[in-house]
Structure 1
Amino acid sequence: MVRLPLTPSEIERGQRLGALLRRARGDRPMLDVALAARVSPETLRKIETGRVATPAFPTVAALAEVLGLSLDELWAEVSGARDGKAAEIAS
């Protein structure tokens, strides 16, 4: 299967997701969070640094649960809804 290159907006959204997860993790060790979410520490590291800009939904959902984030809040921040970008996209 050929994977198409990511668009600039997908890359930006992945960077926002990574930054949000990193902030939510705070002082918790990456290993602890990754194991609790049943993902590899390498996967979490790649998501936090933006190297995996479009992680699978179950991965995001598991990390959000471990970090105490609601999926609604996560999506609002990652999609840009909090700064009005999502409203522009929707119209």
Structure 2
Amino acid sequence: MVRLPLTPAEVDRGKRLGALLRRARCDRPMLDVALAAGVSPETLRKIESGRVATPAFSTVAAIAAVLDLSLDTVWSEVSTPATPARTTQAF
């Protein structure tokens, strides 16, 4: 099976997901979170680093549950790109 290249939007969304999971994990060891979620530490590391931009829904749900994140929170944080800082222009 050939996998299509990810779009820039999918890559950005993956990076936002990784950042959210890293923030939620705080100082908890990656190994503890991964094992509690039933995923390998390597999988969690790849998701947090953005190398896996489109993880399986069940994987995201399991990690979110361990981190006490609702899926609504995950979706709202991941689906909305950060708004760029507004600049003012003088005319």
TM over 0.5: yes
**Any unmatched runs of 5+ in structure 1?**
84-91
Aligned equivalent of 2:74: 74
Task: State the Cα RMSD in Å.
Answer: 1.2
- Give the direction of change, closer, same or farther, for the CA distance of 1:82–1:76 in structure 2 (3 Å limit): farther
Compare the two structures and name the one with the higher helix fraction: 1
- Structure 1 residue 81: deviation in Å? 7.2
Count of aligned pairs between the two proteins: 83
Partner of 2:13: 13
User: 1:76–1:82: 8 Å Cα contact kept in structure 2?
Assistant: no
Max Rg structure: 2
What is the alpha-carbon distance in structure 2 between the residues aligned to residue 79 and residue 7 of structure 1?
14
Q: Give the TM-score of the pair, scaled to structure 2.
A: 0.88
Task: Find the aligned partners of 1:61 and 1:82 in 2 and give their Cα distance.
Answer: 22
Work out the CA distance in 1 between the residues paired with 2:35 and 2:5. 30
Counterpart of 1:54 in structure 2: which amino acid?
Answer: T
Aligned residues with identical type, % of pairs: 78
TM-score, normalisation: structure 1: 0.88
Q: Kindly indicate whether structure 1 or structure 2 has the higher relative contact order, using CA contacts under 8 Å at least 6 residues apart.
A: 2
Matched, 1:29 2:29: yes
